[in-house]
Protein backbone atom coordinates (compact mmCIF):
# COMPACT_ATOMS: atom_id res chain seq x y z
CA UNK A 1 0.00 0.00 0.00
CA UNK A 2 1.28 3.46 -0.91
CA UNK A 3 2.17 5.73 1.98
CA UNK A 4 -0.15 8.34 0.57
CA UNK A 5 -3.08 6.02 1.28
CA UNK A 6 -2.26 5.86 4.98
CA UNK A 7 -3.53 8.24 7.62
CA UNK A 8 -1.24 10.81 9.17
CA UNK A 9 -1.09 8.77 12.38
CA UNK A 10 -0.10 5.64 10.46
CA UNK A 11 2.60 7.52 8.59
CA UNK A 12 3.87 8.86 11.91
CA UNK A 13 4.12 5.32 13.29
CA UNK A 14 6.23 4.29 10.30
CA UNK A 15 8.49 7.27 10.85
CA UNK A 16 8.98 6.34 14.50
CA UNK A 17 9.86 2.76 13.51
CA UNK A 18 12.41 3.99 11.00
CA UNK A 19 14.10 6.36 13.45
CA UNK A 20 17.19 4.66 14.82
CA UNK A 21 19.55 6.76 16.91
CA UNK A 22 22.46 4.47 16.05
CA UNK A 23 21.66 4.50 12.33
CA UNK A 24 19.98 7.84 11.53
CA UNK A 25 20.70 7.58 7.82
CA UNK A 26 18.01 4.90 7.51
CA UNK A 27 15.10 7.29 7.99
CA UNK A 28 16.81 9.85 5.77
CA UNK A 29 17.08 7.35 2.91
CA UNK A 30 13.42 6.38 3.15
CA UNK A 31 12.23 9.97 3.45
CA UNK A 32 14.12 10.90 0.29
CA UNK A 33 11.92 8.43 -1.60
CA UNK A 34 8.63 9.42 0.03
CA UNK A 35 7.19 12.90 0.10
CA UNK A 36 4.85 11.86 2.94
CA UNK A 37 7.74 10.84 5.18
CA UNK A 38 9.76 13.84 4.03
CA UNK A 39 6.97 16.13 5.19
CA UNK A 40 6.97 14.49 8.61
CA UNK A 41 10.74 14.82 8.91
CA UNK A 42 10.57 18.47 9.95
CA UNK A 43 13.64 20.55 10.79
CA UNK A 44 12.90 20.02 14.49
CA UNK A 45 12.81 16.25 14.00
CA UNK A 46 16.04 16.34 12.01
CA UNK A 47 17.72 18.37 14.74
CA UNK A 48 16.57 15.89 17.38
CA UNK A 49 17.97 13.02 15.31
CA UNK A 50 21.30 14.85 15.10
CA UNK A 51 21.34 15.56 18.84
CA UNK A 52 20.49 11.96 19.74
CA UNK A 53 23.19 10.65 17.42
CA UNK A 54 25.79 12.96 18.95
CA UNK A 55 24.86 11.73 22.45
CA UNK A 56 25.12 8.13 21.29
CA UNK A 57 28.52 8.84 19.74
CA UNK A 58 29.72 10.37 23.02
CA UNK A 59 28.50 7.28 24.83
CA UNK A 60 30.52 5.09 22.47
CA UNK A 61 33.63 7.12 23.24
CA UNK A 62 33.09 6.61 26.98
CA UNK A 63 32.65 2.90 26.37
CA UNK A 64 35.82 2.76 24.27
CA UNK A 65 33.70 1.53 21.36
CA UNK A 66 34.79 2.58 17.90
CA UNK A 67 31.42 3.40 16.37
CA UNK A 68 27.65 3.34 16.79
CA UNK A 69 27.61 0.33 14.46
CA UNK A 70 29.87 -1.56 16.86
CA UNK A 71 27.59 -0.64 19.76
CA UNK A 72 24.51 -1.75 17.82
CA UNK A 73 26.12 -5.14 17.17
CA UNK A 74 27.60 -5.66 20.66
CA UNK A 75 26.54 -8.81 22.50
CA UNK A 76 28.10 -7.77 25.83
CA UNK A 77 28.59 -4.46 27.61
CA UNK A 78 30.78 -4.44 30.71
CA UNK A 79 30.48 -1.01 32.29
CA UNK A 80 32.60 -1.65 35.36
CA UNK A 81 34.47 1.60 34.85
CA UNK A 82 35.27 4.88 36.49
CA UNK A 83 34.45 8.05 34.62
CA UNK A 84 31.04 6.75 33.55
CA UNK A 85 28.17 8.80 34.87
CA UNK A 86 24.45 8.62 35.58
CA UNK A 87 23.75 10.70 32.46
CA UNK A 88 25.47 8.00 30.40
CA UNK A 89 23.11 5.41 31.86
CA UNK A 90 20.14 7.62 30.96
CA UNK A 91 21.46 7.77 27.38
CA UNK A 92 21.93 4.02 27.34
CA UNK A 93 18.29 3.60 28.36
CA UNK A 94 17.14 5.59 25.33
CA UNK A 95 19.02 3.11 23.13
CA UNK A 96 17.36 0.10 24.70
CA UNK A 97 15.17 -0.58 21.67
CA UNK A 98 18.03 -0.36 19.14
CA UNK A 99 20.42 -2.84 20.77
CA UNK A 100 19.00 -6.09 19.38
CA UNK A 101 22.17 -8.16 19.82
CA UNK A 102 22.99 -7.26 23.44
CA UNK A 103 22.78 -10.31 25.70
CA UNK A 104 24.83 -9.33 28.77
CA UNK A 105 24.89 -6.00 30.61
CA UNK A 106 27.14 -5.51 33.63
CA UNK A 107 27.26 -2.33 35.68
CA UNK A 108 29.61 -1.49 38.48
CA UNK A 109 31.63 1.53 39.48
CA UNK A 110 32.51 3.75 42.41
CA UNK A 111 29.44 5.55 43.70
CA UNK A 112 31.07 8.85 42.89
CA UNK A 113 30.96 7.95 39.20
CA UNK A 114 27.41 6.75 38.71
CA UNK A 115 25.91 8.70 41.58
CA UNK A 116 23.09 7.52 43.81
CA UNK A 117 20.49 7.54 41.01
CA UNK A 118 22.36 5.99 38.08
CA UNK A 119 20.49 2.68 37.99
CA UNK A 120 17.24 4.47 38.74
CA UNK A 121 17.71 6.72 35.69
CA UNK A 122 18.56 3.71 33.54
CA UNK A 123 15.45 1.82 34.67
CA UNK A 124 13.16 4.83 34.28
CA UNK A 125 14.22 5.20 30.65
CA UNK A 126 13.61 1.57 29.64
CA UNK A 127 10.40 1.29 27.63
CA UNK A 128 8.42 -1.82 26.71
CA UNK A 129 10.60 -4.20 24.71
CA UNK A 130 13.85 -2.44 25.63
CA UNK A 131 16.99 -4.60 25.72
CA UNK A 132 15.11 -7.41 23.97
CA UNK A 133 17.93 -9.99 23.95
CA UNK A 134 19.46 -9.36 27.39
CA UNK A 135 19.41 -12.52 29.48
CA UNK A 136 22.05 -11.51 32.06
CA UNK A 137 21.89 -8.18 33.92
CA UNK A 138 24.36 -7.57 36.75
CA UNK A 139 24.70 -4.53 39.00
CA UNK A 140 27.57 -4.81 41.46
CA UNK A 141 28.78 -2.40 44.13
CA UNK A 142 26.51 0.47 43.10
CA UNK A 143 23.99 2.58 44.99
CA UNK A 144 20.70 1.19 43.72
CA UNK A 145 18.80 1.66 46.99
CA UNK A 146 15.05 1.18 47.33
CA UNK A 147 14.22 3.87 44.76
CA UNK A 148 16.32 2.12 42.12
CA UNK A 149 14.78 -1.25 42.94
CA UNK A 150 11.29 0.23 42.60
CA UNK A 151 12.22 1.82 39.26
CA UNK A 152 13.57 -1.51 38.02
CA UNK A 153 10.34 -3.22 39.08
CA UNK A 154 8.35 -0.69 37.05
CA UNK A 155 10.61 -1.23 34.01
CA UNK A 156 10.14 -4.99 34.18
CA UNK A 157 6.38 -4.59 34.44
CA UNK A 158 6.44 -2.28 31.39
CA UNK A 159 7.95 -5.15 29.43
CA UNK A 160 11.65 -4.20 29.42
CA UNK A 161 14.21 -7.01 29.48
CA UNK A 162 11.66 -9.57 28.21
CA UNK A 163 14.20 -12.45 28.04
CA UNK A 164 15.85 -11.90 31.42
CA UNK A 165 17.12 -15.13 32.99
CA UNK A 166 19.78 -13.93 35.43
CA UNK A 167 19.63 -10.79 37.58
CA UNK A 168 22.32 -9.63 39.96
CA UNK A 169 21.90 -6.72 42.38
CA UNK A 170 24.84 -7.16 44.72
CA UNK A 171 26.13 -4.66 47.27
CA UNK A 172 23.37 -2.37 46.02
CA UNK A 173 21.98 -0.97 49.27
CA UNK A 174 18.55 -2.50 48.71
CA UNK A 175 16.45 -2.68 51.87
CA UNK A 176 13.22 -4.43 52.76
CA UNK A 177 11.09 -1.76 51.07
CA UNK A 178 13.06 -2.09 47.85
CA UNK A 179 12.81 -5.87 47.69
CA UNK A 180 9.12 -5.78 48.62
CA UNK A 181 8.60 -3.46 45.63
CA UNK A 182 10.76 -5.56 43.30
CA UNK A 183 9.57 -9.02 44.34
CA UNK A 184 6.19 -9.00 42.52
CA UNK A 185 7.87 -8.04 39.23
CA UNK A 186 10.39 -10.85 39.66
CA UNK A 187 7.65 -13.34 40.47
CA UNK A 188 5.96 -12.33 37.21
CA UNK A 189 9.10 -13.49 35.37
CA UNK A 190 8.72 -17.28 35.38
CA UNK A 191 11.80 -17.69 33.14
CA UNK A 192 14.13 -16.25 35.82
CA UNK A 193 16.79 -18.84 36.69
CA UNK A 194 19.49 -17.03 38.67
CA UNK A 195 19.03 -14.30 41.27
CA UNK A 196 22.02 -12.76 43.04
CA UNK A 197 21.12 -10.42 45.91
CA UNK A 198 24.19 -10.74 48.12
CA UNK A 199 25.35 -8.06 50.56
CA UNK A 200 22.17 -5.97 50.61
CA UNK A 201 20.26 -4.34 53.47
CA UNK A 202 17.04 -6.34 53.39
CA UNK A 203 16.08 -8.88 56.02
CA UNK A 204 13.19 -11.18 56.76
CA UNK A 205 10.43 -8.94 55.36
CA UNK A 206 12.03 -8.58 51.95
CA UNK A 207 12.93 -12.26 51.74
CA UNK A 208 9.40 -13.34 52.62
CA UNK A 209 7.96 -11.09 49.91
CA UNK A 210 10.24 -12.76 47.40
CA UNK A 211 9.92 -16.45 48.24
CA UNK A 212 6.74 -16.87 50.29
CA UNK A 213 4.42 -13.87 50.21
CA UNK A 214 1.34 -14.27 52.42
CA UNK A 215 -2.06 -14.82 50.79
CA UNK A 216 -3.70 -11.56 49.73
CA UNK A 217 -6.14 -10.02 52.16
CA UNK A 218 -9.82 -10.09 51.34
CA UNK A 219 -10.76 -7.45 48.78
CA UNK A 220 -7.18 -6.92 47.58
CA UNK A 221 -5.74 -7.89 44.15
CA UNK A 222 -4.42 -11.45 43.84
CA UNK A 223 -0.71 -12.16 44.05
CA UNK A 224 1.27 -12.05 40.79
CA UNK A 225 0.83 -15.17 38.72
CA UNK A 226 3.84 -17.27 37.85
CA UNK A 227 6.26 -17.36 40.73
CA UNK A 228 9.88 -18.41 40.67
CA UNK A 229 9.22 -21.80 39.14
CA UNK A 230 12.48 -22.02 37.17
CA UNK A 231 14.77 -20.39 39.72
CA UNK A 232 17.89 -22.55 40.04
CA UNK A 233 20.17 -20.31 42.07
CA UNK A 234 19.39 -17.82 44.86
CA UNK A 235 22.17 -15.87 46.56
CA UNK A 236 21.08 -13.91 49.64
CA UNK A 237 24.36 -14.16 51.48
CA UNK A 238 25.42 -11.49 53.94
CA UNK A 239 22.09 -9.65 53.77
CA UNK A 240 20.55 -8.15 56.87
CA UNK A 241 18.40 -5.19 57.81
CA UNK A 242 20.39 -5.09 61.05
CA UNK A 243 24.15 -5.23 60.47
CA UNK A 244 24.78 -5.69 64.17
CA UNK A 245 23.63 -9.28 63.78
CA UNK A 246 26.10 -11.93 62.75
CA UNK A 247 23.64 -13.90 60.66
CA UNK A 248 22.56 -12.84 57.21
CA UNK A 249 18.88 -13.72 57.61
CA UNK A 250 17.20 -14.39 60.95
CA UNK A 251 15.23 -17.45 62.03
CA UNK A 252 12.02 -15.85 60.72
CA UNK A 253 13.52 -15.45 57.26
CA UNK A 254 14.76 -19.02 57.33
CA UNK A 255 11.23 -20.12 58.27
CA UNK A 256 9.89 -18.35 55.16
CA UNK A 257 12.39 -20.26 53.05
CA UNK A 258 11.40 -23.55 54.64
CA UNK A 259 7.73 -22.86 53.88
CA UNK A 260 8.55 -21.95 50.27
CA UNK A 261 10.67 -25.05 49.74
CA UNK A 262 8.27 -27.47 51.42
CA UNK A 263 5.28 -26.02 49.55
CA UNK A 264 6.96 -26.49 46.18
CA UNK A 265 7.14 -22.75 45.51
CA UNK A 266 10.77 -23.08 44.34
CA UNK A 267 10.69 -26.45 42.57
CA UNK A 268 13.82 -25.94 40.44
CA UNK A 269 16.09 -24.49 43.15
CA UNK A 270 19.46 -26.23 43.19
CA UNK A 271 21.82 -23.71 44.77
CA UNK A 272 21.09 -21.52 47.79
CA UNK A 273 23.70 -19.23 49.30
CA UNK A 274 22.71 -18.24 52.83
CA UNK A 275 26.23 -17.53 54.07
CA UNK A 276 26.76 -15.58 57.25
CA UNK A 277 28.47 -12.25 57.51
CA UNK A 278 30.56 -13.79 60.27
CA UNK A 279 31.95 -17.32 60.33
CA UNK A 280 30.95 -18.99 57.03
CA UNK A 281 31.39 -22.43 58.60
CA UNK A 282 28.81 -21.81 61.32
CA UNK A 283 25.22 -22.82 60.60
CA UNK A 284 22.41 -22.17 63.08
CA UNK A 285 19.51 -24.52 63.74
CA UNK A 286 17.37 -22.34 61.46
CA UNK A 287 19.97 -22.62 58.74
CA UNK A 288 20.00 -26.39 59.09
CA UNK A 289 16.22 -26.39 58.69
CA UNK A 290 16.60 -24.55 55.40
CA UNK A 291 19.22 -26.98 54.15
CA UNK A 292 17.02 -29.91 55.14
CA UNK A 293 14.04 -28.36 53.32
CA UNK A 294 16.18 -27.82 50.23
CA UNK A 295 17.25 -31.46 50.36
CA UNK A 296 13.61 -32.54 50.61
CA UNK A 297 12.67 -30.31 47.68
CA UNK A 298 15.44 -31.70 45.49
CA UNK A 299 14.50 -35.24 46.46
CA UNK A 300 10.93 -34.65 45.31
CA UNK A 301 12.21 -33.28 42.01
pLDDT tens-digit map of 24-60? 666 555 555 566 666 656 777 677 777 888 888 888 8
In the prediction, which pLDDT does 41 show?
Answer: 64
pLDDT tens-digit map of 190-199? 899 999 999 9
Please, what is the average pLDDT of the chain? 80
**What superfamily in CATH does domain 74-300 come from?**
Ribonuclease Inhibitor (3.80.10.10)
Quote the CA–CA distance of 191 and 136 in Å, as a whole number: 12
First-to-last C-alpha distance (Å) of the chain: 55
What's this model's pTM, rounded to 2 decimal places? 0.82
**Average pLDDT, integer, range 86-111:** 87
Look at residue 17 and tell me whether its pLDDT is greater than 70.
no
Element (H, E) at 146: helix 145-158
Radius of gyration from C-alpha coordinates of the chain? 23
Q: Is 250 exposed, middle or buried (0-12, 13-18, 19+ CB in 10 A)?
A: middle
pLDDT tens-digit map of 58-85? 888 888 888 889 999 999 998 876 556 7
pLDDT range class, residue 118, cuts 50, 70, 90: confident
Quote the CA–CA distance of 298 and 251 in Å, as a whole number: 22
Least confident of 9-13, 97-101, 111-115, 229-233: 9-13
- Neighbouring C-beta atoms of residue 227, cutoff 10 Å: 21
φ, ψ at 107 (rounded to 5°): -120, 140
pLDDT range class, residue 238, cuts 50, 70, 90: confident
Domain range list for the chain? 1-73, 74-300
**Average pLDDT, integer, range 86-101:** 90
Amino acid sequence: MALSKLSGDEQGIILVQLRNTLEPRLVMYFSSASKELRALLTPAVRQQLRTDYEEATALCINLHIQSCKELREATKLDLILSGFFAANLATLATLGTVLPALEELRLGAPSSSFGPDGVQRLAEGLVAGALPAVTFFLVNDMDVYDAGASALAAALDRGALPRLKALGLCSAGIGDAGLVALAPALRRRPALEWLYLARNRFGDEGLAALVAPPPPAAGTPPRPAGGLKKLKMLDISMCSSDFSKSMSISDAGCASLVVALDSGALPALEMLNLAFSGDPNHVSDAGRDVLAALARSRARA
